[in-house]
Chain A
């Protein structure tokens, strides 16, 4: 339930990034990538491809002209990260940045490949791909850094010191 709420909020935020008043480069950030990167990094259950599939379907319903290619792209990215992440011991924000970049690149490329047979694929430029990878990896790194700060524990510790 908590995950569904978070995904919904993320998608709402993704839509908000594409509002006419906002800068165009903001749409290159793939906000839901934190769930795909975070699941294997935080040792979540091994159902992450299915979770990513549902995430992709929600992405398609909200942002894509057809339902399907987004789900394929998000689940493909999740499967790839599920294989790669266990090979690396690092769980620092740097790992979040690196896997975020990998996941974003895979998601964009697979989505493009899934749209091609349907005749809906637009031209995939290297500039957009690079921009999206960089911004999404920074977004994932930011989330990883916040998680690494472990704010709830620090808050509990701070409250305990004050109560003494």
Chain B
């Protein structure tokens, strides 16, 4: 840098200092030093920017905090909603069970004194098992028939406290003595692995057609006569001595909620009032 440039630079710096010196001596009409006004004007953008940044940061922090609170509240509301939905499902289930129970009570009016309603709590169709919870504190003996509003379910094989283990009629070892509605054809319905019932001991000359309804005959000494067991779905002749008959269980085993345990069914009961 040449001497002349250095000289000019120094001179300009001196001018700036002199102007600042002069500003420090002069007052505005408001009584403020001019240099103070200059400094204020110079730093006001910085202050404004600082305030804006501070406000932005504050808003951001508030927003994040409120968002977190909102998320927590939302989560609580979601949990509350799930709880309400669960309660609603339980109430709907209870309502459906109540309706089923009413239907059962209407179907078997003569058994209301001795029959025990029970609520199904577990079912395993593959293994032919069901667990039901009786409403009272009454002990249910083994071999007590269990029926639903649509038909026979099975029989009690064990009870403990309020819980009853029921062997479904579809269990491979279960057997129910059946007959047609007119009583001319009698046989034995046994369970199978397919969930259907195989009707055994039906003579080849028996008049049995697909769609015929089969009810309990009472010959097995377990189930009272006249309870609907199922509907014939297939009748086939073979080289065996009896017809091969398959039946669809009348009771909706997969969806049944309430069952009626016919403890003490030995009293007389109407045979056709159980058909839906």
Contacts and interface: CB of A to CB of B under 8 A. Distances in A.
Contacts of B23: 117-118
Contacts of B15: 72, 75-76, 114
Please report whether the interface of chain B is mostly helix, strand, loop or mixed according to DSSP. Answer: helix
A67 B21 contact: yes
Of residues B8, B14, B15, B34, which shows the largest number of chain A Cβ atoms within 10 Å of its Cβ? B15
A66 B14 contact: no
B42 interface: no
Given A66-B25, A66-B26, A119-B26, A71 B11 contact: no
Of residues B11, B22, B26, B38, which shows the largest number of chain A Cβ atoms within 10 Å of its Cβ? B22
A63 interface: no
A76 B18 CA distance: 12
Please report whether the interface of chain A is mostly helix, strand, loop or mixed according to DSSP. Answer: helix
Interface in A39-56: 46, 49, 53
B8 A118 contact: no
B13 to A, nearest CB: 11
B156 to A, nearest CB: 107
B7 interface: yes
A69 interface: yes
B19 A114 contact: yes
Interface string A55-75: 000000000011111011001
A69 B18 contact: yes
A131 to B, nearest CB: 26
Interface in A15-32: none
B73 interface: no
B22 A75 contact: no
B74 interface: no
A66 B22 contact: yes
A79 interface: yes
B185 to A, nearest CB: 122
Given A49-B11, A79-B8, A79-B11, A72 B26 contact: no
Given A67-B21, A117-B38, 13 more contacts: A46-B3, A49-B11, A65-B26, A66-B26, A67-B25, A68-B25, A69-B19, A71-B14, A72-B19, A117-B19, A117-B34, A118-B23, A119-B34
Interface of A: 46, 49, 53, 65-69, 71-72, 75-76, 79, 114, 117-120
The 7 closest A-B pairs by CB, nearest first: A68-B22, A68-B18, A66-B25, A66-B22, A72-B15, A118-B26, A68-B21
